[in-house]
Amino acid sequence: MTETRLREELCYHAASLFDRGLTGGASGNISVRTEDGGLLVTPTGSSLGRLDPARLSKFDAEGRFLSGDRPTKEMPLHEAFYETRTKTGAVVHLHSSHSVAWSMMPDVEPDNLLPPLTPYAVMRLGKVKLLPFFVPGDPAMGDAVRGLAGRRSAVVLANHGPVVAAKDLEAAVYAMEELEETAKLALLLEGRQPRMLTQGQVQAVVRKFDVEWD
């Protein structure tokens, strides 16, 4: 994919996420790996609904800022995923309401945040790690991701929002959507004792789709 096309794709998916209410105002940020190993990143203070492809922040393969508007302050998050999961082609971070709400619930499991409600969350996300609260832009967020040593493709920052890494932009967006929908289901079913997937059913999905599940 040419850089021009990649810029257009990033802005298209960003606008779709914004238009569907998955992140509002100037919240959320996206990065995508370019063919030469660099990055295109959404600028700081920008709305995902109104991005200009020509003004995306551009970095070279060594992480040097080259052009465009000033990048998101959450670069430490993005950089940590690219460093620890070398096949990462895109990272999406949103402030989606249901995921944030679920991160505040008192009895969630930090190492496996989402309950096993559907096979699709297992397939697209694996286990989702709940990370502690950090002040937005704190480099310690990146350190927390590095501390996972590449074992998670998706995390949720407590009281803040989810972050998903995937092989390409489309896969990252789809996984993010699945995370938000699963958190929504979890909240709808809270206290109702739903029939979740059994451990055996989860393992069957993990084996069939070669899911990272450690």
Read off the pLDDT of each residue in 4-21 and give the average, rounded to a whole number.
Answer: 97
Determine what percent of the chain is predicted with pLDDT higher than 70: 100
Q: What's the confidence (pLDDT) of residue 161?
A: 97
Is 174 a known active-site residue? no
Rounded Cα–Cα distance for residues 149 and 58 (Å): 26
Structure tokens at 130: 């709940």
Residues 51-109 pLDDT 10s: 999 999 999 999 999 999 999 999 999 999 999 999 999 999 999 999 999 999 999 99
Of the candidates 3, 83, 120, 181, the residue annotated as catalytic is 120
Q: What's the confidence (pLDDT) of residue 214?
A: 82
Residues 25-38 pLDDT 10s: 999 999 999 999 99
Indicate the pTM of the whole model.
Answer: 0.96
Q: What's the confidence (pLDDT) of residue 21?
A: 96
Residues 101-150 pLDDT 10s: 999 999 999 999 999 999 999 999 999 999 999 999 999 999 999 999 99
Q: What's the confidence (pLDDT) of residue 119?
A: 98
Q: What's the confidence (pLDDT) of residue 47?
A: 97
Residue 86 neighbours by CB distance under 10 Å: 8
Q: Identify the CA nearest to 143 among candidates 130, 131, 160, 159.
A: 131
**Distance, CA of 188 to chain centre:** 22
Is 120 a known active-site residue? yes
Of the candidates 74, 79, 177, 178, the residue annotated as catalytic is 74
Q: What's the confidence (pLDDT) of residue 198?
A: 97
3-state secondary structure 104-115: CCCCCCCCCCCC
Residues 183-214 pLDDT 10s: 999 999 999 999 999 999 999 999 999 999 98
Q: What's the confidence (pLDDT) of residue 1?
A: 72
